[in-house]
Amino acid sequence: MGRVPLLTHHRKLGLWLQPGGHADGNRDLAAVALREAREETGVAGLTIVPAVFDLDRHRIPAHGGVPAHWHYDVRFVVRAAADERYVVSDESHALAWRDIAALYADSQADPSLRRMAGRWLEQSA
């Protein structure tokens, strides 16, 4: 199991988060997660572990006329092949590979990311 997630500096929220997006009615959430990871990172050869890794509910602040609301994440593990080069999409300010243990210890990181990193570390111990 790898220990380095690729994070996106989300353009609208200004936070470092995992790549992802909306299902828009598609019930195959694993396929949605894989599509979004490909679109947002440009990493070639991505594969997905089809089992749900994590569920998260968090508040999204009001932005651009959209009121604050709850957001539900269904998270999957997406793995990169040997080529980990990425391309920053229009949805991000930047992308960066982060050490999962450092992410878990980073008190400035998004709380849901830290919880997910802790879960990964528990499962890989």
pLDDT value at position 1? Answer: 42
Q: How many CA atoms lie within 13 A of 118 on its CB side?
A: 11
pLDDT of residue 38: 95
Cβ neighbours for 57, distance < 8 A, ≥ 6 positions apart:
70, 71, 72, 73
For residue 22, the one-letter residue type is H
Domains annotated on the chain, with CATH: 6-124 (3.90.79.10)
Q: What is the pLDDT of residue 61?
A: 83
| Residue 9, amino acid | H
> Residue 3: its pLDDT value, please?
67
Let me know: does 112 contact 16? Beta carbons within 8 Å.
no
The predicted pLDDT at position 104 comes to 96
End-to-end CA distance of the chain: 10
Can you give the pLDDT at residue 64?
87
The mean pLDDT values, 10 residues at a time, for the chain of 125 residues are 80 87 93 95 94 91 90 93 91 93 94 93 88
